[in-house]
Chains A and B, each alone.
Chain A
Amino acid sequence: MAQPFRLSRGGRIDRSRPIVFEFNGRPIHGYQGDTVASALIANGIHLVGRSFKYHRPRGILSHGPDEPSALLSVDRGPGRVDPNNRASVVEARAGLRTKSQNHWPSLEYDIGAVNDLLSPVFVAGFYYKTFMWPRKFWDRVYEPFIRAAAGLGKAPTQADPDRYANRHAHCDVLIVGAGPTGLAAALAAARTGKRVIIADEGPEPGGALLHDPKAEIDGRLASEWLAETLADLDARENVILLPRTTVFGYYNHNHVAMAERVTDHLPSAAGQAPRERLWQVRAGEVVLAGGAHERPLVFADNDRPGILLAESVRVFLNRYGVAPGNRLVVATSGASAYQVALDAKSAGLDVTLVDLRLETDCGPEVTRLRQAGVEVLTGHTVVGSKGRTRVSGLIVAPVESNGRCGARRVIACDCVGMSGGWTPAVHLFSQSRGKLRYDDGLDAFVPGTSAQAERSAGAAKGTYDLAACLNEGFAAGAAASGSSETHSFGASATLTGFQPVRVMPTDADPKKVRAFVDYQNDVTAKDIKLAVREGFQSIEHVKRYTTTGMATDQGKTSNMNALGIVAGQLDKALPAVGTTTFRPPYTPVTFGALVGPARHALFDPIRTTPIHGWAESHGATFENVALWRRAWYFPKAGEDLHAAVARECKAVREGVGIFDASTLGKIEVVGPDAAEFMNRMYVNPWAKLANGRCRYGLMLKEDGYILDDGVVARVSDECFHVTTTTGGAARVLGHMEDYLQTEWPDLQVFLTSTTEQWAVIALQGPKARNVIEPLVDGIDLSPDAFPHMAMRTGTICGVPTRLFRVSFTGELGFEINVPTDHALAVWEAIYAAGQPHGITPYGTETMHVLRAEKGYIIVGQETDGTVTPDDVGLAGMIAKTKVDFVGKRSLARPDVVATTGRKQLIGLMTEDPKLVLDEGAQIVADPNQPIPMRMLGHVTSSYWSPNCDRSIALALVADGRALMGKTLHITTPDGFTRATVSEPVFFDTKGERVNA
């Protein structure tokens, strides 16, 4: 198929494998090995998008990761649409559908381009200046307008169907970049046998060698050296070479994050293989060999499609066999672009070179180029470009000795390659917290003092000559792997050196010149100068005010030009202005790569009990409690939450209910000093607790506030079976271990979590004993032999059990602890045995209602980390005779012993018995007081109580216990309602039922 700008030969594309993809609905023909950018250029397409702010026509600026303009939406099939992909790095393949962005109705005719005409309005700080007033315009006018205009591409709307993988890896030497520097480093490191990972963002290792076919290394073509080197590395088991892998984050202690693109380039969906893989590498040493970025020249209308970075012209010519145009003008202030002109000339292009440098400042490259038949204009500036959706001419003028511009000349062209010199890619070095150093000779910030075990080499360090890069890379690889081996490479010379230029000299009115510095955020030199004139001096402020360098490319092409302009305006040296901070990621990373497999069922562990399946098959609705999924209620046909809970609550108090309490935390506290340890950890006394007896334990933090609670059984003299709240299990074990290890290492006590060893089946209600009696062996269940708050060991259904006679409902109750793997069988047996008694499974909601009817607190609901035992009426639990326990001293703190103002637990009876208060509702004494009102406290628990046939609520209220019988006012969605203060117990106030 016709690819009018495809050269007849050359490049690393595979001409035997043609491909077709789509751009804006039209088929684009290319070859295997093309990027989307190179294939578009092969087809003569340069206009690929509209700019962010002014909707100016934009083309392809670069061949690599620094591309700011050519951002496309890429559609790889249903659900696989990604916005803002750089055309220069997306590998072309059959089936891709790419689209330009940020225009309406079409790329060629874009209404938004009116912004370009209004550009005098959209100056730096436009938003800050414009949207200040009137205030009420913000919600209705400004924000919707800004929202509609913001962003470039459209976010995908479908769930991402792809798989993303994660991989932790360790190596001795991690090398970033597989160009000549990185490969030389890898050679050196690999020979030591150390574990080496070398990652490169491109599909093919080689870096700059891939577009330098005439270069020679050690007496042979660079391409041969490259093939040999790759074969050498590939043969070594200690080397992992990762193409298509972007090192995007450099974190603490040589922890480096990389995104590997695994399947995007494959022509068909790769089965179950992941789309991308996030590598988290812990490296002993890191070698940064990520190369450098070329600087654009800043002149009027330097953003027309067809204007590229000079080296990118060379890449398209040599690597992809594509001519970015027929008539090329190379505009430069340095030597490297002469190689571009030479290569273009030999590829058959009509070439002119314009160099800002005076002839006397140039090297032998001028003569060489002239000898090749290329017109070279030294001492010339560029003052503008012609064309609209494609450059048609470059306007140049000589710079006179007085600094003025001479007569203008328009050089007709369809392509411009510009070069303002080079900027080492110090992003990762900077992320590693290394300190940058400004190098005057290089006009660049280069790696200075390292903060981690890391070293930079090659162009990333400002070394641009090929042989020097190879030598530096090899030395870095050797040093990083502890080797003293050296190697001196021979290589063809590289044209280096440039004259820094911030804005090209011009004879135009600077107020009317739009010379772009940041292409992606549409920031011009004029904007930056205005910001400085308006008083912004810190580069960090200029950056935020103008948004230069803040787009997704993080200013790879623009930072040095912007810094230089600010320095010039302030008349300061560039290092005095400093540089902005580079932050991860180096280039944009997909959310998928960061999320990895942590989606759906793997988003978070979903902890379930052995009864979970039974509950599911019996229709339970579930709720999340910490990571646990617990049965919330068991609705029968036609029942809602309210009806199901009402039925379950009645059933427990009138018959028997069965409840899965397996999630309760459990800790086996064992050792000769176990009782002493318990004495120190809990407010209660433990020394005299008899074996086989239980106690409600209350645990404080050192600040005197309640941390957790739970029933504790003494199994033997030296063993306690401790239970904790479901959510507090890990916290309590950690709290205990902390004291044991750090404060009382002399205590002989050992802690083991048994939360999941024991499943707990709670059987509650007057008929509970009748149900289990036939199933239990070895335990006398009679009330006298087995009273409330006792624990016995025996068997149930032949399964060993620790049987607790305890109650969180106020009814006769048992908590049957059995080994987890047997719990389902025991549960089913109990359920079967309970059928004649009307046994009813109940969930956490009913559990909550029943305990609230009895005024039992739930830690985390009645307490919030500022509640003492006395506040919730549990001061009676505190051992009177203990000298010390964790939190005791704080109970004597002045704010805790204050005689007034503490919030205390009370009950609330609404005057309207049908009204259920909102949990969290605020409570005041007088709803007519002026705002802000004095709030006395809040509702902590509130339910409809089927057993009381009215609503009940618990609340923490300042000095609440002194308010018994008084009326308080509680906020509702509609205003206030009235309730009477009562004791915080609503059912069986004498507590007789548990002893049944």
Chain B
Amino acid sequence: MLEVRYRTARTLPLGRVEARPAGVAIRPAEAEARFVLRIRSTEGEIAGLPLNRPINTVSGDDRRWIARLGPDEWLIGVPEGEADLLQTSAASDLAGRAHSLVDVSNRNVGIDVEGARADELLNAGCPLDLGEAAFPAGSATRTLLGKAEIVLIRRAGAQPRYRVECWRSFATYVHDFLKEAGLGIGEG
């Protein structure tokens, strides 16, 4: 009885309510599985996701993605139901190579930020150049939003679409910061 109940009860800190200041949608993501992969060589793939893409890029799609954050560090996102599968695949894909694959599904919280002025909104707290040339779709990096560390991923799309990932205890701050930033850019 307990098992059934708690297997399903993942309590997300932000809920799922969307805010839409200045036409930018700020939407806490649903429960996803995430892993931190650390490995020194970039050959091959893990569960079909490539390792050899440049630092600060993301590959895959919205459902299954792998962001290369440093020379030997990747952040991977997959649907919650594929978590076990990913770990199994990794074990065989990376067999014999020193690596570390750590489940951080509960450490990370995702917030999707989408809309024509999303870059302007993020720049309220993110000091990076989010212009088309400097941070095109497919970019991904660890950076700052106000006083919190985030991972910022720009997804493909006709209008700017971003995923902001932060640690769980910072999620309230990051979420509130984004909503405030939406009011700060005004309706103009």
Residue numbers in B under 8 Å from A273 (CB-CB): 183, 186-187
- A499 contacts chain B at the CB level, 8 A cutoff: no
Contact indicator per residue, chain B 153-188, by CB within 8 Å of chain A (1) or not (0): 000000000000001111011101100110111110
Tell me if B146 and A598 are in contact (CB < 8 A).
yes
A-B contact count, CB below 8 Å? 159
Note all chain A residues with C-beta closer than 8 A to B128: 168
A671 to B94, CA, bound (A): 13
Tell me the smallest distance from the CB of B32 to a CB of chain A, in Å: 11
Given contacts A166-B184, A628-B169, contact A610 B104 (CB under 8 A): no
A870 at the interface (CB under 8 A from B): no
Interface-side segment among A205-213, A367-375, A821-829, A978-986: A821-829
> Given contacts A752-B36, A821-B12, is CB(A798)–CB(B2) below 8 Å?
yes
- Whether the pair A607, B169 counts as a contact (CB closer than 8 A) is yes
Contact with B along A359-402 (1 / 0, CB 8 A): 00000000000000000000000000000000000000000000
Q: Answer whether A753 and B107 are a contact pair too, CB < 8 Å, given A608-B172, A610-B11.
A: yes
Contact partners of B36 in chain A: CB under 8 A? 752
Whether B106 contacts A167 by the Cβ 8 Å rule is no
In the bound assembly, the distance between CA atoms of A170 and B123 in angstroms comes to 10
CB distance from A294 to the nearest CB of B (A): 35
8 A Cβ contacts from A810-828 to B = 819-822, 824-826
Which residue of B99, B147, B187 contacts A605 across the interface (Cβ within 8 Å)? B147
Q: Which of A598, A750, A825 contacts B38 (CB 8 A)?
A: A750
Q: C-beta contact mask, B101-141 vs A, less than 8 Å → 1, else 0?
A: 01111110000000000001001111111010010000000
Q: Does B63 contact A (CB under 8 A)?
A: no
What is the total number of residues of chain A having a CB less than 8 Å from a CB of chain B? Answer: 56
Q: Given the complex of chains A and B, what is the CA–CA distance between A272 and B127 in angstroms?
A: 24
* Stretch from A274-282, A434-442, A633-641, A845-853 that touches the partner: A274-282
A609 at the interface (CB under 8 A from B): yes
Enumerate chain A residues within 8 angstroms of B100, measured Cβ to Cβ.
Answer: 668, 670-671, 750, 752
Asked whether, in the complex, the Cβ of B147 is within 8 Å of the Cβ of A756, the reply is no
Is the Cβ of A756 less than 8 Å from the Cβ of B120? Answer: no
Q: Do residues B124 and A165 form an inter-chain contact, with CB atoms below 8 A?
A: yes
Which residues 17-72 in B have Cβ within 8 Å of A in the complex?
31, 36, 38-40, 72
The answer to whether the Cβ of A728 comes within 8 Å of any Cβ in the partner chain is: no
- Contacts A756-B107, A825-B11 hold; do A797 and B3 have CB atoms under 8 A apart? yes
Q: Is A757 an interface residue (CB 8 A)?
A: yes
Residues of B within 8 A of A775 (CB): 2
Chain A residues contacting B10 (CB-CB under 8 Å) are 819, 821-822
| Partner among A607, A670, A822 whose Cβ is within 8 Å of the Cβ of B102 | A670
Contact partners of B106 in chain A: CB under 8 A? 756-758, 819-822
Complex contact A167–B120 (CB within 8 A): yes
Instruction: Name which residue of chain B comes closest to A274, CB basis.
Output: B184
The residue that B169 contacts in the complex, of A608, A798, A825, with Cβ under 8 A, is A608
Distance, CA A598 to CA B177, complexed state (A): 9
Contacts of B187 in A (CB 8 A): 273
**Residues of the B chain whose Cβ atoms lie less than 8 Å from the Cβ of A798:** 2-7
Measured between alpha carbons, how far is A670 from B181 in the docked complex, in Å?
39
The complex places the Cα of A825 from the Cα of B131 at a distance, in Å, of 43
Instruction: Tell me if B131 and A274 are in contact (CB < 8 A).
Output: no
Q: Tell whether A156 is near chain B: CB-to-CB under 8 Å.
A: no
Please give the residue numbers on chain A whose beta carbons come within 8 Å of chain B beta carbons, in ascending order.
Answer: 163-170, 195, 262, 272-274, 277, 280, 282, 597-598, 601-602, 604-610, 627-628, 668, 670-672, 748, 750-758, 775, 795, 797-799, 819-822, 824-826, 829
Contacts A602-B146, A605-B174, A797-B2 aside, 16 further interface pairs with beta carbons under 8 A come to A165-B183, A167-B120, A168-B126, A597-B180, A605-B170, A605-B172, A610-B168, A670-B38, A670-B102, A752-B100, A755-B107, A799-B6, A821-B10, A822-B6, A822-B10, A824-B11
